[in-house]
Amino acid sequence: MIKLHKTVVALTLGAALAAATTAQAAQEMNLAFTPPLNSHYGDAGKAFAAEIDKLSEGKFKINLKPAGALGGERDVIEGLEIGSVEITISSTGPIGSFVPEVYALDFPFLFTSYDHAHRVLDGPIGQEIFAKFDAHGLIGLAWAENGFRHVTNSVHPVQTPADLAGLKLRTMENKVHIAAFQAAGASPTPMSWTEVITALQQGTVDGQENPITVLTANKFWEFQKYLTLTSHVYSPAAVVMSKVVWDDLNDEEKGWFIQAGKAAAEASRATVRANETAGVELLRENGMEVVTDVDTAAFQQAVQPAYDKYAAEYGSSLIARIRETK
């Protein structure tokens, strides 16, 4: 009886030690992004972490680092290049500084709908652009989503390009966006997202442009009065991994991370879809004045100089292929 008891104890201790060893062996990775955890990026990050945990059976643990905990998007991408940060979900603005071909996606009024954007990004064009990441120390896992961008400001309603005259608008660090807003009459001010809310609160800039999900997640009604549904640019996001980290994975593990990237992308798109209409109502209910009667044709004409200046540099044929994608 004593011998049997000792055997049971030994087996129990062995199982406990094995479990502890497994837990200790879990490889931790950081997934950084600038919006708060309660956002479409947060939902994407949670989906990524859950999918990796499931596929790897606990071999990898993803630590979410929201709200710019590891720095702005440019800082994080530089971290990916050297392997000090493992994964990020980022807007395309800062990525374009490293992978210029990404800017082809950022021309105003290029995408006609969410379905159009998804067909482009999930198809050959999206993969061709991701293939350019490798040379810059980055691995594109999946195309996530920010959504169509809209203008907000604290000065007056914007309905036509003439209403932008003199407005200091924060933009992403994106030459195409800057050129488009300059052509439309605004005074664009490129700025890291981590500085934007303070700049709006202090009046350093009059307004900015972002998708609805970003506006609701950051309670824009607290420091901006007017929202104009311009839908001037479709803004993708990219789930990106450090090539330094990627190269240490075996083929099966790489498959897990690609699958987790796709889960993150779907989660971000689902949140954007859910918030697109409800978010506008939430902003209105909290006091923002929403302009829906926008002179889109006038805006399209006003931003044409951005195409004239940069289309050839970032790929006129690529832009044409995007437009022709059905």
Q: Do residues 113 and 174 lie in contact, with contact meaning Cβ atoms separated by under 8 Å?
A: no
Domains and CATH numbers, the chain: 2-321 (3.40.190.170)
Query: What pLDDT score was predicted for residue 208?
Result: 98
Contact 224, 155 (CB under 8 A): no
pLDDT, residue 172, reads: 86
SS3 292: coil
DSSP annotation of 39: S
What are 157-205's pLDDT values in tens digits? 999 999 999 999 999 888 899 999 999 999 999 998 889 999 999 999 9
63: enclosing H helix or E strand: strand 60-65
Among residues 151, 156, 162, which one has the least CA distance to residue 208? 151
Q: Convert the pLDDT of each residue in 259-283 to its tens digit.
A: 999 999 999 999 999 988 899 999 9
Q: How far is it, in rounded angstroms, from Cα 143 to Cα 266?
A: 9
Q: Is the dihedral of CA 47, 52, 54, 55 positive or negative?
A: positive
Give the rounded distance of the alpha carbon of 107 from its chain centre: 16
Backbone angles phi, psi at 180, to 5 degrees: -65, -45
Mean pLDDT in consecutive groups of 10 residues from the start of the chain, 326 residues: 50 50 76 94 98 98 97 96 98 90 94 97 97 97 97 98 97 90 96 93 97 93 98 96 98 98 98 92 97 96 96 94 95
Q: What digits encode the pLDDT tens for the residues 310-324?
A: 999 999 999 999 999
CA 35/CA 193 separation, integer angstroms:
9
